[in-house]
Structure 1
Amino acid sequence: MTDAVLATSSIRTTARRRSPFRRKAFPYLLLAPAVIYLLGITLWPAIYAIKRSLQTGKFKLEWVGLQNYRELLVDNAFWTSIWNTLLLGSITLAIEFVIAMGLAALVYRSGWARGWRIVFTLPMLFMPSAVSYLWKLLFNDGRVIADLINRIGFDVGNIDWMGNVFNARLVLVVADVWQWTPFLFIIFVAGLQGQDKEIEEAARLDGASWTKLFFNISLPMMRPVIAIALVLRGVDILSNFAGVHIITQGTPGGATETVSYFIYRTAFKSFEQGYASAASVIVLVATIILAQLLLRRFFKSGTDA
């Protein structure tokens, strides 16, 4: 008993003797391994990409400064890939948002929606490459979609989905919407279910209809959730590579070549890694700026409102 008391007293004395600096630094020491790991897989590749963007050469590297950036600014293929990314991304994101928000508004009050969430998330659990191969088979290789359209009564024959700009873009949009609409749906359902129920009850007592309740109360309260969801999906769309690489490979005539596929083609097919690094740095900076603008737009402080 005496030994236990002495040990407890010794621990308390040691704790009291610990300096304030050590007490404050202890939590940071616990977080240090994780921070170092994250910096290693994010910051170091970014620094290397910036350094590589200032060089040229396939095998023997030469320092060229900002030459790669100057060439990118007048490269039609790069700007075409940017346009394709924004066009396909905006169409895809708009469709996903409308479908996900509409479904979430219909089912978030129902108890069965909670039990069936895993079913809703099944498409996004598949690998993007597997989904891309599936839709390539359905649209182009297997002619399944064309056969279904013919059976419905529309005599369209064998549609060459990859030979037409509109059709090729349509395939990419359909594949992305099918896989990633559940991502937004789950976020929106959670956001709607997490809102204060007393505000809805007060609005119903005042005679507000379902549409007024949703558009005037629920939807404005969802602004932060919507902002986070759109930013996450927008960043993911900018880095969409598997669909373009497997389904279209940028055809026809570069009409479906996104910026991520442009970087891949430049780095691993043309072996111009400095040029590709410059393009990736530009895309990274633009993505950070756009994400910050969107988040500031939706996350205003009380003094800005």
Structure 2
Amino acid sequence: MTYSSTTTNPEAASAASNASRKLRPRSAMSRTMFPYLLVGPAVAYLLVITLYPGIFAIYQSLFVVRFVSWTWAGLDNYVRIIQDREFWAALGNTAIIGGISLTLQTIIAMTVAFFCYRDPLVRGWRIIFLMPMLFMPSAVAFIWKLAFNDGRVISDLLMSAGIVSSNVDWLASVWLARLTLIVADVWQWTPFLFIIFVGALQGQDEEIEEAARLDGASWSSIFWNISLPMMRPVIVVAVTLRGIDITTMFTNVYIMTQGTPGGATETMSFFIYRQGFRMFNFGYASAASVLMLIFTVFVAQTVVKRAFRSGKS
């Protein structure tokens, strides 16, 4: 007995029909808008957490704000800040502490990167140099506060070495207090510059170095005359980013020094915090943050523009 297989599966027929049908091409507008739809949520998130607070700070800086009481002040907050000695002292402290810290970080990171980027023995252990950057800033600040002040670890080591004869009060001297902040910042954030410099050195063409060595150039000569000039754009961008981050130094100051002695370690971030959350001058603090933002952007833009312009000439 034979059976005729004339019956068909409706689902299989529908699938075959859909497979055989040609897909209609997307319109030009849909092709144009599709990438924007993909990045739209991320852009919206960034605008919410960056643009809105900035606009709100500018708006708030035009008022004298005491909790729910808002009184129009216009540009009076900015005039008061320009005449405020504490503001300029905090700005100077930020420049001094940040400048010294950034210089030391750049020198140390470049030196370590120079010895590590080609050495096969050190290359596998470079992750160790990144360990300080993985700690929370508050934990690092507490560790160094314990080492310098509360636990007297540094003082005991100095006395054991015969360098000092008694316990050192690190917060009693202006420069000693600044030194504690510099040491903590250098210890934690030098790896940030180190990993960038190592990547820049490894990304250079090895044939150029080989040609220079065949001509009798030493490693130091190759580094100063070939590698370092080629790294100039990377160095400028990395140092600028680290410098911008240093201007927001707050955690170390809050935990380690509280701005003492006599405001010598009060940075701009701590000054804004003190005005806003201790003295409740929210409009005044907002005006200070706006001025600091303008100053930071101006300095960063000037440095980058001059560096790249001189690199082209």
TM-score by length of 1: 0.94
Is the CA contact 1:146–1:156 (under 8 Å) kept in the aligned structure 2? no
Alignment of 1:20-99 (within 5 A): 20-59=28-67, 60-99=69-108
1:202 to partner: Cα distance: 1.2
Is the CA contact 2:113–2:198 (under 8 Å) kept in the aligned structure 1? yes
1:283 and 2:292 matched:
yes
Alignment of 1:171-250 (within 5 A): 171-250=180-259
Residue equivalent to 2:275: 266
Give deviations 1:218-256, integer Å, cap 9, x for gaps.
001111111121012111110010110111101000011
1:268 and 1:185 mapped to 2: Cα distance? Answer: 36
Is the CA contact 2:159–2:167 (under 8 Å) kept in the aligned structure 1? no
1:297 to partner: Cα distance: 2.7
Aligned residues: 301
Give deviations 1:90-136, integer Å, cap 9, x for gaps.
00000111111011111110123332122111111111111111111
1:147 and 1:49 mapped to 2: Cα distance? Answer: 46
Q: What's the secondary structure of 2:66's corresponding residue?
A: coil
Give the greater-gyration-radius structure (CA).
Answer: 2
Structure 2 residues without counterparts, runs of 5 or longer? 1-11
Is the CA contact 1:52–1:274 (under 8 Å) kept in the aligned structure 2? yes
1:7 and 2:18 matched:
yes
Q: What's the secondary structure of 1:61's corresponding residue?
A: strand
Give deviations 1:24-53, integer Å, cap 9, x for gaps.
111111111111111000000000000000
1:2 and 1:215 mapped to 2: Cα distance? Answer: 73
Residue equivalent to 2:8: none
Q: What's the secondary structure of 1:57's corresponding residue?
A: strand
Residue equivalent to 1:156: 165
Superposition RMSD on alpha carbons, in Å?
1.7
Give deviations 1:171-212, integer Å, cap 9, x for gaps.
111111111111111111111011111111111112212121
Deviates most, 32-41 or 197-206: 197-206
Is the CA contact 2:58–2:287 (under 8 Å) kept in the aligned structure 1? yes
1:147 and 1:73 mapped to 2: Cα distance? Answer: 44
Letter in 2 for 1:53: S
Residue equivalent to 1:120: 129
2:171 and 2:164 mapped to 1: Cα distance? Answer: 19
Residue equivalent to 2:120: 111
Letter in 1 for 2:182: V
Structure 1 residues without counterparts, runs of 5 or longer? none
Task: List structure 1 runs of 4+ shifted beyond 6 angstroms.
Answer: none
1:290 and 1:256 mapped to 2: Cα distance? Answer: 22
Closer/same/farther in 2, CA of residues 275 and 197 from structure 1, 3 Å limit: same
What percentage of aligned pairs have identical amino acids?
A: 56
